[in-house]
Amino acid sequence: MKIVILDAFTCNPGDLNWDALKEFGELTVHDRTLTEEVIERCSECEIVLTNKVVLNHEILDQLPKLKYIGVLATGTNVIDLEYASERGICVTNIPGYSTDSVVQHILAFILHFSSMVSIHNDAVHKGDWVNSKDFCFTLGTLNELSGSTLGIIGLGTIGRKLAKVADAMGMKLVAAHQSSMNRLELPYEVNWEPVDEVFARADFLSLNCPLTPETDKVVNAERLQKMKSSAVVINTGRGPLIDEQALADALNQRTIAGAGLDVLSTEPPSANNPLLGAKNCVITPHIAWSSREARSRLIDIAVDNLSAYLKLDPRNRVN
């Protein structure tokens, strides 16, 4: 049995290994694969693992030996699931592997804006403390998180873990009303409100919802106008949850105080993305999920998924 990984570098840049997959067959690992290389690299394979390399109808149609696709991520939009089902190809994904990593990254954004550690560190190393007339100095207002309000759009696995951490830090919690989530018994107090009210009340607004027609551009000019001028928007979900021009305008006009973004609508972004030059906009390159521990879990789940499939008991199947 031939197995190929098309884009291994993102999940494993060299600090982990794929050895556990070798017990299932002949394994070939590619760090990256261009679109024009996919068919050649997959033509003899029954098993294909991909993170972001697209396997659409046209490509799948030219891979008659393919029986299994393991997506090395949670999102499966890179696969034509309907056609894969028609072909009898099993497609699996990796859910739940990065929850702790993403929550930690959200907290890093929150702390960046409340404690300004990196800003003051930069100032100290530029000599500002050496030349200070006082024993200390601040470059802006520092704020305690205790008593502030965290608004959460999407109280799923990541949203609930974030709420637990925020509650432990003394933050108040307000979440967008969803009938299914409203019935959950949670070990902390959550105020359930309509989406617009969450925007209005939040000191920090975290987007942790899936991208759907209803959540596309859930952050838009109208809702940004409802927010506090001191509020911060944080997005570790999907880039299109935000109308990027509207957010850039709100930051530049100081309608809100800041934004912490780990995702953009196009990745890598174009040089003219309006958020790249927006005021007080902190951007990381889609790394919230990628702690070593999370990537190790991802590989372990990918191995378990393939093992279960070969035992005719597939798990995490998405088609």
The set of catalytic residues is 238, 267, 286
Residue that is written with structure tokens 């590989």 in the block:
299
CB-based burial label for 303 (10 Å; 0-12, 13-18, 19+): middle
**Dist CA 46 CA 25 (whole Å):** 10
**One-letter amino acid for residue 5 of the chain:** I
Token code pair at residue 34: 């261009």
**One-letter amino acid for residue 303 of the chain:** V
**Dist CA 195 CA 167 (whole Å):** 20
Q: Beta strands 232-235 and 281-283: pairing type?
A: unpaired
**Dist CA 205 CA 187 (whole Å):** 21
Q: Beta strands 204-207 and 149-153: pairing type?
A: parallel
Phi then psi for 191, rounded to 5 degrees? -90, 120
Question: What is the signed CA dihedral for 208, 210, 212, 214, rounded to 10 degrees?
Answer: -30
Helix axes 292-310, 99-115, angle to 10 degrees: 160
Give long-range contacts, CB 8 A cutoff, 24+ apart: 164-167. 164/188, 165/103, 165/107
**Dist CA 79 CA 89 (whole Å):** 11
Label residue 45 left, alpha or beta by phi (over 0 means left) and psi (-120 to 50 means alpha): beta
Q: Beta strands 258-261 and 232-235: pairing type?
A: parallel
